[in-house]
């Protein structure tokens, strides 16, 4: 069967296409309005920001044929923004109307919650549907959004999900189905839902069970530091406090092939995979074909979220042409990334904001968030401890520490660094996180130079301080050496995810064993 995908040019559509192809179907892209009308099955994977999406649909004359297709009750699957577009308006883009096929609006989650809602959560079916065939009912699916739909007609609600409030996570009216979650990023359960939808001949059914309340899982994130080794081959490596060369041989540590390792972690149950491009050619990201190829190949067989970091900034090529950070990010999104991680450039943006009292509205953080949504922008912070005898000794955000300094200092602040931790800057991690949130970032990847490669556990004091300072999700990174360290960070802080690299690469901790351990200790985790 040929499936038509409405790709309006934003976000990672490659994963949707790969998931459909993996199920044995041919994919055709909408090139003009007639392609919508002539579709057998139409899939609309909306990714990004509501206003940008609707403006693009109107510019390309897709609105009228879309509404006509929907009115004929023909097979339609909307994903994420593809659900939100069906309604009249969104608080994300006041004054820009949606398709208005359903009465109702799109509203933001309460400010009391960490937003975006990112991660694996359950669904509560309200009635039967063909997409539920073969589901147990306790599966978790991947969400990443700041807004949710509020239909006037409650009869179209197919499932709800709990996140501070109970919100509508999918709708169905006849052959029209739309989900807030991403089936293409939800592992085997998501592929089952896609398979059911595309089969068309399956009788509606209900899962065998339904949770009374759904719970957001704590995420386990596998990180792959990728760089070229001494022969020029791209490998996964791991630093010891950011030094990736073996202390004896002086060679770059080679822990495996990036695509193969990513597939292994997907099979083992990693909730997300992060690629950090730490090699020299990140200075020319649009010519960085090896990293783009890694993303493309990985997304063919890995159906969980992929993040890419390293080189997400503006640059000028050897011919003098200027490329914006938005153009660089777009290339990675089109190659299979769901999120981009901004590191050193975020520090420079915040420094400018502090010194001038304002910042260029087209800075990398704001520009990417404006087009692709805040959930697509991750800020990677690389701080190190700086001890102080008293809070008055520095203007930076200071915490009282239980780990005194070399001279018995009882206070410290966390200095942000750039250039892979080699250069300290005059801005602290708490300030950086707060300003980046204001500029549009949707998530913090919080590293710690002092803990990197030590296996001593996460820096709980740092993580707690940053979690308390922002209202966006935080991923803990650096220092994990055993399962107890994950338990500690999940029970002692509000962090939503924990990342590790070396202990996974060396099989010192296996992801299935880690999740079983956390589950026994009462931590909500995801199985897919």
Instruction: Report the catalytic residues.
Output: 80, 182, 184
Q: Are 52 and 27 in contact (CB under 8 A)?
A: no
Q: Are 146 and 374 in contact (CB under 8 A)?
A: yes
CA 76 from centre of chain: 25
Beta strands in 1-123, from DSSP E residues, in sequence order: 2-5, 26-29, 41-46, 76-80, 89-90, 104-108, 117-121
User: Regarding beta strands 377-381 and 383-388, do their DSSP bridges make them parallel or antiparallel, or are they unpaired?
Assistant: unpaired
Kindly report whether the peptide bond that precedes residue 116 is cis, defined as omega within 30 degrees of 0.
Answer: yes
Nearest C-alpha neighbor of 462 from the set 412, 422, 502: 412
State how far the Cα of 266 lies from the Cα of 476, in Å rounded to an integer. Answer: 20
Largest CA distance in the chain: 75
Report CA torsion sign: 318, 321, 325, 328. Answer: negative
Token representation of residue 112: 């009391």
Nearest C-alpha neighbor of 79 from the set 154, 150, 6: 6
The 3-state DSSP class for residue 176 equals strand
């Amino acid at each position: 069967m040929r499936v038509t995908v409405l790709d309006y040019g934003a976000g990672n559509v490659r994963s949707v296409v790969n998931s459909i192809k993996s199920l044995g179907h041919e994919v055709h892209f909408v090139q003009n309005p007639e392609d919508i009308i002539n579709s057998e099955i139409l899939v609309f994977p909306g990714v990004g920001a509501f206003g940008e999406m609707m403006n693009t649909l109107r510019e390309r004359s897709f609105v009228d044929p879309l509404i006509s297709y929907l009115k004929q009750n023909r097979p339609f699957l909307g994903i994420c923004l593809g659900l939100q577009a069906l309604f009249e308006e969104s608080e994300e883009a006041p004054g820009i109307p949606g398709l208005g096929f359903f009465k109702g609006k799109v509203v933001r989650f309460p400010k009391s919650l960490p937003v975006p809602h990112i991660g694996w959560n359950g669904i509560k079916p309200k009635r039967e549907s063909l997409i539920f065939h073969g589901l147990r009912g306790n599966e978790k699916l991947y969400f990443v959004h700041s807004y949710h739909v509020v239909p006037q007609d409650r009869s179209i609600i197919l499932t709800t999900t709990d996140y501070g409030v109970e919100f509508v996570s999918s709708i169905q009216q006849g052959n029209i189905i739309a989900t807030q979650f991403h089936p293409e990023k939800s592992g085997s359960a998501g592929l089952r839902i896609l398979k059911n939808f595309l089969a068309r001949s399956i009788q509606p059914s209900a899962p065998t069970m339904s949770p009374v309340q759904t719970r957001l899982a704590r995420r386990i994130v596998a990180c792959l530091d990728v760089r070229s080794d001494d022969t020029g081959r791209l490998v996964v490596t791991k630093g010891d406090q950011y030094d990736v060369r073996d202390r004896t041989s002086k060679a770059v540590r080679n822990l495996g092939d990036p695509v193969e390792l990513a597939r292994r972690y997907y099979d083992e149950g990693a909730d997300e995979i992060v690629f950090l491009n730490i090699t020299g050619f990140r200075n020319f990201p649009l010519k960085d074909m090896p990293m783009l190829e890694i993303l493309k190949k990985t997304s063919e067989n890995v159906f969980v979220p992929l993040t890419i970091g390293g080189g997400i900034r503006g640059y000028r090529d050897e011919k003098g042409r200027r490329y914006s950070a938005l153009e660089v990010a777009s290339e990675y999104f089109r190659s299979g990334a769901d999120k981009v991680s901004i590191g050193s450039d975020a520090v420079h943006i915040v420094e400018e904001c502090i010194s001038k009292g304002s910042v260029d509205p087209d800075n990398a953080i704001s520009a990417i968030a404006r087009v692709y949504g805040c959930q697509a922008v991750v800020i990677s912070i690389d701080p190190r401890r700086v001890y102080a005898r008293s809070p008055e000794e520095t203007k930076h955000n200071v915490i009282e520490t239980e780990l005194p300094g070399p001279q018995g200092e009882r206070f410290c602040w966390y200095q942000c660094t750039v250039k892979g931790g080699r250069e300290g800057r005059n801005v602290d991690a708490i300030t950086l996180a707060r300003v980046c949130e204001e500029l549009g970032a949707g998530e913090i990847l919080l590293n710690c130079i002092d803990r990197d490669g030590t296996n001593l556990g996460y820096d709980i004091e740092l993580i707690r301080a940053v979690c308390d300072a922002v209202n966006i999700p935080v991923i803990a990174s650096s220092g994990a050496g055993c399962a107890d360290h994950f338990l500690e960070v999940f029970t002692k802080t509000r962090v939503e995810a924990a990342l590790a690299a070396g202990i996974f690469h060396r099989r010192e901790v296996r992801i299935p064993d880690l999740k079983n351990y956390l589950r026994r200790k009462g931590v909500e985790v995801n199985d897919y």
